[in-house]
Chain A
Amino acid sequence: MTDAALDQPLPDDGFWRHALRNRSFVIGAVLTLLIATMALVSFFWTPYSVFELAVANRMKGLSAEHWFGTDHFGRDLLSMIMVGARASIAVAVVAVGIGIVLGVPLGCYAAARGGWIDEALMRVNDLVFAFPALLSAVMITAIFGPSATNAIIAIGIFNIPVFARVARAGALSLWPREFILAARAAGKSKGLITVEHILPNIISLLLVQGTIQFALGILAEAGLSYLGLGTQPPMPSWGRMLFDAQTRMMAAPHLALFPGFAIVLTVLGLNLLGDGLRDILDPRLRRVR
């Protein structure tokens, strides 16, 4: 979020050279790709079906047939974690999408117009910040009932002011710059300048914020599903698996371990990726390190 970050418009040829030397970026990218691949593979193949119950096989420990053991319905835990990745990723992707699609134009508009419109939009932004995602999710579920869709909406609403703020801050620092003044002198409208010059230059900021919000979305989805307000059974989700594990922790602690690892690795991967991206895209930081 510094001016220096904006001097480097888009990832250029130097990007991968710097990226591969950045430890955070490499570890983060590997973890993220691993989880994403797992979710994709689960569409075509899982070791066992996650919808067929085999009660005779319930709460088995780790074995060659069931690497992560089985749950209280005898379902294979590894398969459930693979399918669970889908729900986490889907909810987080759509929630981040809502934030970007609505928040970025809002922030750019506020920055371009300035004055009372800017002030008013930012006050509304502050208002949304007073409703933490979990709280709005609670309100929305109270009315419309629990579902993955409502979880997405709740998390997405909270993402709007986040992206609006980042876009506005980035755009505000660009407007006084010479190449923007030149574009204005050439008679281009503010809207056109925003699309042609502002947006390409704040993409790196949005990318970094996007990975952070993605990670927060994964955590929020897990929390909501744990409470029973997110993804609904029989569709497996990491949060719900942890809820089911809680009462059976004495007999089968592995039930609580693996879904937790899955969440931590995903969030850790995304955060490292975001940190790495920021270092790579921000030349000022690159010099310091």
Chain B
Amino acid sequence: MAVGLASGRPFLMIAYILKRLLIGAATLLLASAVVFAVMEVLPGDPAQVMLGMSATPEATANLREQMGLDQPLMWRYISWVGGLLVGDFGRSYTYSAPVSSLIAERLVVSLPLALMSLVLSTVIAIPVGIFSAARRGRLPDSIAMGTAQLGVAIPNFWFALLLIYVFAVGLQLVPSGGFPGWGGGIWNGLKSLILPSVALALPQAAILARVTRSALLDVLGEDYIRTARAKGLPRGRVLRRHALRNAMIPVLTILGLQFAFLLAGTIIIENVFYLPGLGRLVFQSITQRDLIVVEGVVMLLVASVIIVNVLVDLAYALVDPRLREAA
């Protein structure tokens, strides 16, 4: 945080960062308690749930012991969280493999997918939002915002079906589903992630474009913008130098929130395209009642949402000099 140090108030900056990190850690701990409680306390006997009603009492008792269910509740929670901290998510019952290695296998699909859609939506949305704000109330603005309005209303999985129909079935440019792995060359892997990431990015881009536009318009109504214009600065320069930086705060907030929707969106999109990612793993584990996998993946997704939002909070301090000083 070189900027904070340069401002001459390093301690306030550090205090701000520490406070955010502390809140983040507390939220993580609470979230883990929620996930644990929901998955282990509510359903009664997890072993029974996993094996189904037809299981013999011996099989159930065996699994209970294997899962450590005979231990006291508090101890199970502590050992579960302790395991999570060192990357031990437990053992999958159906795959008979460590959950962490299952997750690692799937992350090489889900992570590039999420990143590609995030980049794609940002690269489309922010220029469109700026363009619209600069031409507010005129035809190009109406067209762009009308398209965005439509984009927000289109369910990503339906858009995915249309993309498959046009580009995979019709034009046969890309595969309609499945993932060949990264072994057969980067391009082969990327090719099967193009349609999924476009389908995921579209609604996010539509929302982000609208937020960018309205954030910019809010800032453009401020007195200091009028001052900047009055002293003779050209419009474009005012937009770039004065308005854009201030409009970044709400844009960042939405980007952080969108990350959560993006992760949740992968659950649907990976199922549409039969991609072997985290979303599909969690979905399959539900049908196989593999609660330990569900618990691990859900916790991982929730944790990444919390961590991203802490990072966004920290980024405010970099973008907004007032926060940097006053924090």
Cβ contacts under 8 Å, B294 to chain A: 138-139, 142
Partner pick for B162 among A227, A259, A260, CB 8 A cutoff: A260
Q: Is the CB of B31 within 8 A of A130?
A: yes
A132 to B309, CA, bound (A): 13
In the complex where A123-B27, A227-B268 touch, is A142 in contact with B289 (Cβ < 8 A)?
A: yes
Cβ contacts under 8 Å, A260 to chain B: 154-155, 158, 161-162
A263 to B158, CA, bound (A): 9
The reply on B111 being an interface residue by CB < 8 A is: no
B interface footprint on A136-154 (CB within 8 Å = 1, 0 otherwise): 0011111110000000000
How many positions in chain B have a CB within 8 Å of any CB in the partner chain? 49
Among B164, B169, B267, residue most surrounded by chain A Cβ atoms (within 10 Å): B267
Q: From residue B137, how far is it (CB to closest CB) to chain A in Å?
A: 8
Q: Is the CB of A142 within 8 A of B291?
A: yes
The reply on B318 being an interface residue by CB < 8 A is: no
Q: Is the CB of A132 within 8 A of B305?
A: yes
Q: Is the CB of A139 within 8 A of B39?
A: yes
The reply on B165 being an interface residue by CB < 8 A is: yes
The reply on B301 being an interface residue by CB < 8 A is: yes
Q: Is the CB of A138 within 8 A of B161?
A: no
Closest to B33 in A: A127
Q: From residue B317, how far is it (CB to closest CB) to chain A in Å?
A: 18
The reply on A208 being an interface residue by CB < 8 A is: no
The reply on A92 being an interface residue by CB < 8 A is: no
Cβ contacts under 8 Å, B161 to chain A: 242, 245-246, 249, 256, 260
The reply on A272 being an interface residue by CB < 8 A is: yes
A interface footprint on B28-50 (CB within 8 Å = 1, 0 otherwise): 00110011001100110000010
A227 to B154, CA, bound (A): 17
The reply on B153 being an interface residue by CB < 8 A is: yes
Cβ contacts under 8 Å, B150 to chain A: 264, 268
Partner pick for A253 among B27, B154, B165, B291, CB 8 A cutoff: B165
Q: Is the CB of B260 within 8 A of A129?
A: yes
The reply on B261 being an interface residue by CB < 8 A is: yes
The reply on B298 being an interface residue by CB < 8 A is: yes
A178 to B224, CA, bound (A): 30
Q: Is the CB of A130 within 8 A of B260?
A: yes
Closest to B203 in A: A219
The reply on B306 being an interface residue by CB < 8 A is: yes
A250 to B306, CA, bound (A): 42
A-B contact pairs, 21 of them (CB 8 A): A123-B26, A134-B264, A135-B298, A139-B35, A139-B38, A139-B298, A141-B286, A142-B286, A142-B289, A215-B153, A222-B157, A227-B267, A227-B268, A245-B161, A249-B164, A249-B169, A260-B161, A264-B150, A267-B152, A271-B152, A289-B137
Please name the 8 residue pairs, one residue from A and one from B, whose CB atoms are nearest each other, closest first: A132-B264, A267-B153, A134-B264, A268-B153, A260-B158, A142-B286, A143-B43, A130-B305
Q: What 19 additional pairs, Cβ within 8 angstroms, besides A132-B305, A215-B153, A260-B162?
A: A123-B26, A124-B30, A126-B309, A130-B27, A130-B305, A132-B264, A142-B291, A227-B268, A246-B272, A249-B165, A256-B158, A256-B161, A256-B165, A259-B158, A260-B155, A268-B149, A268-B153, A271-B149, A271-B152
Q: Which residues of A contact B (CB under 8 A)?
A: 123-124, 126-127, 129-135, 138-144, 215, 219, 222-223, 226-227, 242, 245-246, 249-250, 253, 256, 259-260, 263-265, 267-268, 271-272, 275, 289
